[in-house]
Amino acid sequence: MEESLDIIINTFHKYSVRRGDRDTLNRKKFKQFMIEEMPKSFKKEEEKEKIINDMMKEVDTNYDGQVDFNEFVALIGNILKTKHEESHENASSSVHGQGSSNGPNL
């Protein structure tokens, strides 16, 4: 788990732009992050731009045109929730509750 946390932090820093004393993702870097790190989020190529713009608006909760680390963490949390729900939808009832291919049953 700790390695996964480091990967998330390092991925943010891979795309972030240093401004003052804060790291942020501007619109260009957010788009680059989404395209490179989340390619399965786009079912159709022509939807990519709209989806990225909509996500940027949703994630940028302080409306400064940037995604700071706290906003990024909220995005990752929402993605994790969605993936978790999908794992339940894709699992058979006989497997549910007995662990999954996504990790141990905690």
Confirm whether 98 is domain-assigned: no
Range of the domain at 18: 2-90
pLDDT digits (tens, 9 = 90+) for 36-76: 999 888 778 778 888 899 999 999 999 999 999 999 999 99
Which has the closest alpha carbon to 60: 32, 25, 28? 25
Confirm whether 100 is domain-assigned: no
Beta strands in the chain (DSSP E): 17-19, 22-25, 67-68
% of the chain residues with pLDDT over 90: 58
Using a cut of 0.85, tell me whether the model's pTM lies above it: no
CATH number of the structural domain spanning residue 68 = 1.10.238.10
Beta pairing, strands 22-25 & 17-19: antiparallel
Question: What would the two tokens of residue 50 be?
Answer: 């709209």
**Would you state the pLDDT for residue 17?**
81
Confirm whether 34 is domain-assigned: yes
Contact 17, 26 (CB under 8 A): yes
Look at the chain and report how many structural domains it folds into.
1
